[in-house]
Structure 1
Amino acid sequence: MQPSLRLGLAGLGTVGASVVRLLNKHSKDLAVRCGRPIVLRGVSARDRTRDRGIDIGNVNWFQDPVKLAMDPGIDVFVELMGGSSGPAEDAVRAALETGKHVVTANKALLARHGNDLARLAERKGVSLNFEAAVAGGIPVIKTLREALAGNSVSRVAGILNGTCNYILTRMEAEDMSFGECLKEAQRLGYAEADPTFDVGGFDAAHKLALLTSLAFGSEIDVDSIYIEGIERITLADIEAADELGYRLKLLGIAERTESGIEQRVHPTMVPKASAIARIDGVLNAVAIDGDFVGRLMLVGPGAGGDATASSVVGDIADIARGTALAMMGRPSEHLEPYRPAGVRAHKGGYYVRLSVFDRPGALAAIASRMAEKGISLESIVQRRRAPHAAVVGTQAPAEPQSIIMITYETTEAAVREALDLIRDDGHVADAPQFIRIEAL
């Protein structure tokens, strides 16, 4: 049997503690599978006194993660601190510079600095593995980087944030508002005290940027992703989607087109009969379209200590076996500069909800504005509200009525321009709501 593979682990939060427990529980089996023992030699965390429910009494403690990363007593640096810069970036760079392999779950770091870090790892002849950075316990990185090496991928789409999926699922199932569901998600630990990173779509965008590079052989470009969160989704949208035969999901979608690559994160209406519509709660799902394999759907826990630790240790096992691949599945010199796609028709059309003043000619004027921008309407539904009781001697004011339109294929630019004109005409009481429809 080969000599031990020595680990240094920075970050002993939920995931880090689970990694230690996994390594301890399966140490013998891992040694057999990998042909060598895997041992933890050093750890680093903010608070040494905290009880994490793990035994690290015989492991060297490093207050500074950079010093741990540079320690000659380790072969692999495992970064589980998080953050796109600061100690995490400094420690990962130090580990690579000193010839250490790196395993990380840090999607924010790689979305911002992955191109540079991949080149550094290649220059030093070491691995930079990151299975746990996307979709938790789902082996989507390995699938794209290894299993689908013989395919040309045309699209990657998925539910990449469990918090958003949990909120949308609860809104539909229990007729709860977005605010109520968010509070419940925070209480259960699914959402942070400041949930912006999750519900605003930014977490999903970081993950999508990595999937895009793997799928299409392009450099990582998180800044080119169109991002829209779920904050404006209301019960009216959930109910309308249900009546129209759809469910609402926050999706990350990357597609290769003739003019370039399209990357977007946004709420999406998907047909109830589609596989991705059935993914509920905190689960993640990723659909991959390959020219030879067809469509694959990977489903599983997208977060959580044990599920994420499973992916981390899988990356460590690859290094122990001597499996070495370029970070993005091909050498950095062969990654093409990211080229954004031009404006094109959205294949699934759009759902549009307007709060329209109830007066003669308003609906005709709205339809005219849509036609003016070349938008064909598949359906128009008016959902009338019950009027308030009139005060004696007065006439109750006409309340705005909810108008729902489903468009045929069109461009987002055309929809936005039409809605701007409709708003300027003074026919709507609130900001229009529009949501893409995807036939996944």
Structure 2
Amino acid sequence: MTDPLRVGIAGLGTVGASVVRVLASKATELQRQCGRPIAVTGVSARDASRDRGIDLSAAQWFDDPVALAKSDDIDVFVELMGGDEGPARQALKTALDSGRHVVTANKALLAKHGVALAEAAEKKGVLLNYEAAVAGGIPVIKTMREAMAGNSVSRVVGILNGTCNYILSRMEAEAISFEDCLKDAQRLGYAEADPTFDIEGNDTAHKLSILTSLAFGTKIAASDIYLEGISNISQADIRAAAALGYRIKLLGVAQRTDSGIEQRVHPTMVPNQSVIAQVMGVTNAVAISTDILGDLLLVGPGAGGNATASAVVGDIADIAKSQPGFQHGPVFGWPAKELKPYKKAQMRAHAGGYFIRLTVHDRAGVFAAIAKRMADNDISLESIVQQADSSLDPSQKTVVLVTHETTEAAVRRAVDGITKDGQLTDKAQVIRIERAG
């Protein structure tokens, strides 16, 4: 009988416990598919006495995840602790330096140290698999790293955070405020007690930075992503979008431009008839544009114990199937030492359509003043309408503009001018429009 693949798991929270449960319940199927058994021989977590509803009797307990990472009783180290420093980074690096394969779901760690970890893995000739780090159960990493060989990617667009998509979906469906929807999301477990990392776009940015490296062969540059969250999205924006035939989504966008690679995370209006607009709730989606394959859209569960565990188990199974001495492919599609320095595109030069919502004084000449500022900046308007808003003071009104394709810089100059003119009673809302996806 072929020797089992011995797995050590650090982190036994929702995902870690689900991985142990799946490996046990699907043991026969996995052995048939992989050609060898998979056995959990070591585990590590903060509290050994906690009842997690799983059988750990056959696994050795390690209080220290670093000790587990260098144990001679494991072949694969699975890191599910989280965090971009501390025990997670130390244990993962120890496993690689010890010549052990690694599986991780830690997008924050990869976004910060992914290139160095990839170099360590490639130097030792071991696998560093991270399917669960981006888009939960959607096999986007394997698709981009393996199934799209030979393709040149021009653009990647994704709904990469289930919390934000859930909030925006409910705001539209039930006409409730962002604040009320966030409270419900926290109560239901879709949002953390401190939701800042999700709702301000940081989680999406980490995931996008990994996809950017895979797509364009650049070093990971999460800190160079233009970032806007959804906390300033109001019911006025949701209603205006619906009236214009759009739906608001928090998108991560990476694309090649003449000035470099553009990475941005922000609320975006997408046409109701587009496929990505139909992705609701906690579901994730990734759209990839290539020269050979064309456009590809992957949709599926982006979070949760089972979805993430499925991706982790898939990564473990790939290692179980690999042959000793086989030369593994590079972690990010290109050898880590050949990844190009990231060249940031000029965000203010970004061209496209824009939705602009202005709360202005209800007085003569406002429309004319707004239109003049737009014309002064060579912005062509698709529409400019006044919308009723019962929540406003009678001395105020809402003006909504939709532009034809223009530049970010032109829009910002026009809005700054309208603000200096004293026309606004509240901060302007500017949301980009993606025509397809």
State the distance in 2 between where 1:357 and 1:192 align. Answer: 39
- Structure 2 residue 436 is matched with structure 1 residue 432: no
Kindly provide the amino acid, as one letter, of the partner of residue 256 in structure 1: R
Letter in structure 2 aligned against 1:54? I
CA contact (8 A) 2:352 2:407 kept: no
Shift in Å at residue 252 of structure 1?
Answer: 0.5
Letter in 2 for 1:382: Q
| Residues in 2 aligned to 1:170 and 1:312: alpha-carbon distance in whole angstroms | 30
Give me the whole-angstrom Cα distance separating, in 2, the residues matched to 1:336 and 1:248.
34
Amino acid at match of 2:246: Y
For residues 209 and 336 of structure 1, what CA distance do their matches in structure 2 show?
Answer: 14
Aligned residues of 2:111 and 2:207 also touching (Cα < 8 A):
yes
Confirm or deny that 1:263 pairs with 2:270: no
Query: In the alignment, residue 400 of structure 2 is paired with which amino acid?
Result: I
1:197 match: secondary structure: helix
3-state SS in 1 of match to 2:352: coil
The offset of 1:258, in angstroms, is: 2.3
Q: Deviations over 1:126-179 (max 9, x none)?
A: 111000000000000000001111211111101000000000000000000000
- Mapped to 2, the partners of 1:325 and 1:192 lie a distance apart of 36
In 1: Cα distance, 2:85 partner to 2:410 partner: 39
Equivalent residue for 1:294?
294
Q: Partner amino acid for 2:43?
A: V
- 1: CA distance between counterparts of 2:259 and 2:414? 25
Quote the residue 1:419 is aligned against: 415
Match of 2:98 in 1: 98
Match of 1:144 in 2: 144
Opposite residue 40 of structure 1, the aligned amino acid is V
1:292 CA displacement = 1.1
The partner residue of 1:329 within 333, 343, 349 is: 333
Query: Could you say what secondary structure the match of 1:313 adopts?
Result: helix
1:345–1:410: 8 Å Cα contact kept in structure 2? no
Query: 1:400 pairs with 396, 403, 412, which one?
Result: 396
For 1:398 and 1:331, locate their aligned partners in 2 and report how far apart those are by CA, in whole Å: 62
- Structure-2 residue corresponding to 1:367: 371
> In structure 2, what is the Cα distance between the partners aligned to 1:322 and 1:156?
29
Corresponding residue number in structure 2 for 1:273: 273
CA spacing shift, 1:276–1:386, aligned 2, 3 Å: closer
1:315 CA displacement = 0.6
Superposition deviation, residue 2 in structure 1: 2.9
**Paired residues of 2:388 and 2:397 also in contact (CA < 8 A):** yes
Residue 405 of structure 2: SS of its match in structure 1? coil
Deviating 4+ runs (over 2 angstroms): 342-348, 384-388
Contact preservation (8 Å) 2:18, 2:306:
yes
**SS of match in other structure, 1:350:** strand
Which residue pairs with 1:393 in the alignment?
none
Q: Determine the C-alpha separation between the residues in 2 that align with 1:133 and 1:58.
A: 28
Measure the CA separation in 2 of the matches of 1:295 and 1:229: 27
Higher alpha-carbon deviation: 241-250 or 334-343: 334-343
How far apart in 2 are the matches of 1:165 and 1:208?
A: 16
Letter of the 2:425 counterpart: A
Range that drifts further, 371-380 or 280-289: 371-380
- Corresponding residue for 2:284? 284
- TM-score, normalised via structure 1 length: 0.96
Contact kept, 8 Å, 1:252 with 1:264, in 2: the verdict is yes
SS in structure 1 of the partner of residue 108 of structure 2: helix
In the alignment, the residues of structure 2 paired with residue 328 and residue 141 of structure 1 have an alpha-carbon distance, to the nearest angstrom, of 9
Which residue identity does 1:122 align to in structure 2? E
Which amino acid in the other structure matches residue 277 of structure 2? A
> Is the 8 Å Cα contact of residues 250 and 267 (structure 2) preserved in structure 1?
yes
The equivalent residue for 2:4 is: 4
Alpha-carbon distance in 2 for matches of 1:245, 1:382: 16
1:38-187 matches, cutoff 5 A: 38-187=38-187
Question: Partners of 2:157 and 2:76 in 1: how far apart?
Answer: 32
Q: Distance in 2 between matches of 1:387 and 1:435?
A: 21
* Deviation at residue 58 of structure 1 after TM alignment: 2.3
For 1:221, the equivalent position in structure 2 comes to 221
Per the TM alignment, residue 387 of structure 1 is displaced from its structure 2 partner at its CA by: 9.8
Query: 1:233 and 1:32, CA in 2 relative to 1: closer, same or farther beyond 3 A?
Result: same
Residue 230 of structure 1 is matched in structure 2 by 230
Provide the rounded CA distance (Å) in 2 between the counterparts of 1:363 and 1:257.
Answer: 35
| Residue pair 1:387, 1:399 contacting (<8 A) in 2 also | no
Moved more, 203-212 or 414-423: 414-423
- Give the unaligned 5+ runs of structure 2: none
Distance in structure 1 (CA, Å) of the matches to 2:127 and 2:141? 14
> Is this contact kept in 2: 1:347–1:438, CA < 8 A?
no
Q: SS in structure 2 opposite 1:138?
A: coil
Q: Deviations over 1:238-280 (max 9, x none)?
A: 0000000000100001001222111001000000000000010
Q: Give the alignment's TM-score, normalised by structure 2.
A: 0.96
Aligned to 1:203: 203
Q: Distance in 2 between matches of 1:266 and 1:190?
A: 20
Give, as a single letter, the amino acid of the residue that structure 1 aligns with 2:102: V
Say if 2:262 and 2:347, in contact at 8 Å, map to a contact too.
no
Question: How far apart, in 1, do the equivalents of 2:191 and 2:347 lie?
Answer: 34
Between the aligned partners of 1:184 and 1:190, the Cα distance in structure 2 is: 8
Match of 2:388 in 1: 384
- After the TM superposition, which of the residue ranges 41-50 and 415-424 deviates more from structure 2? 415-424
State the identity %.
64
Tell me how far 1:224 sits from its aligned partner.
Answer: 1.0
Pairing 1:349–2:353 present:
yes
Distance 2:156 2:433 in 1: 16
Cα drift, residue 345 of structure 1: 5.4
State whether residues 245 and 271 of structure 1, in contact with CA within 8 Å, keep that contact through their aligned partners in structure 2: yes
Alpha-carbon deviations, 1:40-87, whole Å to 9, x = none? 110000111111110102210000101110111111100000011111
